[in-house]
Amino acid sequence: MEECVFCKIAAGTIPCRKVHEDDRVLAFEDIQPMAPVHIIIIPRRHIATLMDVDAEGMVDLQAMISAAREVARLKKVDRKGFRVVINCNEEGGQVVFHLHMHLLGGRKLRDSLA
Protein backbone atom coordinates (compact mmCIF):
# COMPACT_ATOMS: atom_id res chain seq x y z
CA MET A 1 0.00 0.00 0.00
CA GLU A 2 2.00 2.95 -1.27
CA GLU A 3 -0.05 5.58 0.61
CA CYS A 4 0.00 3.81 4.00
CA VAL A 5 2.32 5.52 6.48
CA PHE A 6 2.81 2.30 8.48
CA CYS A 7 3.71 0.39 5.31
CA LYS A 8 6.31 3.07 4.61
CA ILE A 9 7.68 2.74 8.14
CA ALA A 10 7.80 -1.06 7.79
CA ALA A 11 9.63 -0.68 4.46
CA GLY A 12 12.15 1.72 6.01
CA THR A 13 11.26 4.70 3.78
CA ILE A 14 10.01 6.65 6.82
CA PRO A 15 12.34 6.50 9.83
CA CYS A 16 11.18 5.41 13.26
CA ARG A 17 12.68 4.62 16.64
CA LYS A 18 12.55 0.83 16.54
CA VAL A 19 12.08 -1.10 19.73
CA HIS A 20 11.62 -4.59 18.29
CA GLU A 21 11.49 -6.18 14.86
CA ASP A 22 11.32 -9.58 13.29
CA ASP A 23 10.15 -11.01 9.98
CA ARG A 24 6.43 -10.50 10.82
CA VAL A 25 6.18 -7.38 13.00
CA LEU A 26 7.77 -4.05 13.78
CA ALA A 27 7.46 -2.17 17.08
CA PHE A 28 8.42 1.49 17.35
CA GLU A 29 7.94 4.48 19.61
CA ASP A 30 4.81 6.56 19.02
CA ILE A 31 5.62 10.12 17.87
CA GLN A 32 2.76 11.51 20.01
CA PRO A 33 3.00 9.41 23.19
CA MET A 34 0.01 9.21 25.52
CA ALA A 35 2.07 7.61 28.32
CA PRO A 36 5.76 7.42 29.29
CA VAL A 37 5.92 4.16 27.33
CA HIS A 38 3.84 4.24 24.14
CA ILE A 39 4.86 1.74 21.49
CA ILE A 40 3.11 0.97 18.20
CA ILE A 41 3.25 -2.66 17.06
CA ILE A 42 2.37 -3.38 13.42
CA PRO A 43 2.40 -6.38 11.13
CA ARG A 44 4.79 -5.86 8.22
CA ARG A 45 2.04 -7.05 5.89
CA HIS A 46 -0.73 -4.53 5.23
CA ILE A 47 -4.00 -5.42 6.94
CA ALA A 48 -6.39 -2.46 7.10
CA THR A 49 -8.38 -3.28 10.26
CA LEU A 50 -8.95 -6.02 12.79
CA MET A 51 -12.05 -6.96 10.78
CA ASP A 52 -9.81 -7.72 7.77
CA VAL A 53 -7.73 -10.34 9.57
CA ASP A 54 -7.77 -13.66 7.71
CA ALA A 55 -6.06 -16.95 8.59
CA GLU A 56 -2.62 -15.56 7.72
CA GLY A 57 -3.50 -12.42 9.67
CA MET A 58 -4.12 -14.55 12.74
CA VAL A 59 -0.47 -15.56 12.56
CA ASP A 60 0.41 -11.84 12.39
CA LEU A 61 -1.79 -11.14 15.43
CA GLN A 62 -0.05 -13.88 17.37
CA ALA A 63 3.31 -12.35 16.41
CA MET A 64 2.03 -8.92 17.55
CA ILE A 65 1.08 -10.35 20.96
CA SER A 66 4.48 -12.03 21.30
CA ALA A 67 6.15 -8.75 20.35
CA ALA A 68 4.05 -6.89 22.95
CA ARG A 69 5.29 -9.25 25.66
CA GLU A 70 8.90 -8.77 24.55
CA VAL A 71 8.53 -4.98 24.33
CA ALA A 72 6.95 -4.88 27.82
CA ARG A 73 10.02 -6.68 29.16
CA LEU A 74 12.43 -4.42 27.24
CA LYS A 75 10.67 -1.28 28.47
CA LYS A 76 10.46 -2.70 32.01
CA VAL A 77 6.68 -2.39 32.35
CA ASP A 78 6.06 -6.14 32.42
CA ARG A 79 5.94 -6.35 36.22
CA LYS A 80 4.02 -3.18 37.15
CA GLY A 81 1.60 -3.41 34.25
CA PHE A 82 0.72 -2.06 30.85
CA ARG A 83 -2.19 -1.83 28.44
CA VAL A 84 -2.53 -3.06 24.85
CA VAL A 85 -5.19 -1.57 22.61
CA ILE A 86 -6.33 -2.26 19.06
CA ASN A 87 -8.70 0.39 17.72
CA CYS A 88 -10.96 -0.73 14.87
CA ASN A 89 -12.49 1.61 12.32
CA GLU A 90 -13.32 5.29 12.70
CA GLU A 91 -15.77 5.14 15.61
CA GLY A 92 -13.39 2.79 17.41
CA GLY A 93 -10.67 5.44 17.24
CA GLN A 94 -8.59 4.01 14.41
CA VAL A 95 -6.74 6.81 12.60
CA VAL A 96 -4.18 4.88 10.52
CA PHE A 97 -5.85 2.11 8.55
CA HIS A 98 -3.08 -0.45 8.94
CA LEU A 99 -3.72 -2.88 11.78
CA HIS A 100 -1.73 -1.80 14.82
CA MET A 101 -1.54 -2.26 18.54
CA HIS A 102 -0.72 0.41 21.11
CA LEU A 103 1.30 -0.69 24.14
CA LEU A 104 1.05 1.89 26.94
CA GLY A 105 2.68 1.90 30.36
CA GLY A 106 5.15 3.59 32.65
CA ARG A 107 2.49 5.13 34.92
CA LYS A 108 -0.86 4.21 36.44
CA LEU A 109 -3.38 4.33 33.63
CA ARG A 110 -6.98 5.53 33.99
CA ASP A 111 -9.55 2.89 34.75
CA SER A 112 -11.88 4.09 31.99
CA LEU A 113 -11.04 3.82 28.31
CA ALA A 114 -13.90 6.06 27.14
Give all domains of the chain, ordered by start, each with its CATH number. 5-105 (3.30.428.10)
DSSP labels, 14-59: S---EEEE-SSEEEEE-SS-SSSEEEEEEESS---SGGG--HHHHH
* pLDDT computed for residue 110 by the predictor: 83
Q: What percent of the chain has pLDDT over 70?
A: 96
CA distance 79 to 62: 21
In this predicted model, what pLDDT tens digit does every residue of 20-35 receive, in sequence order? 999 999 999 999 999 9
* Residues belonging to the active site: 100
Three-state DSSP class for residue 81 = coil
CA distance 48 to 46: 6
**What values do phi and psi take at 104, rounded to 5?**
-125, 140
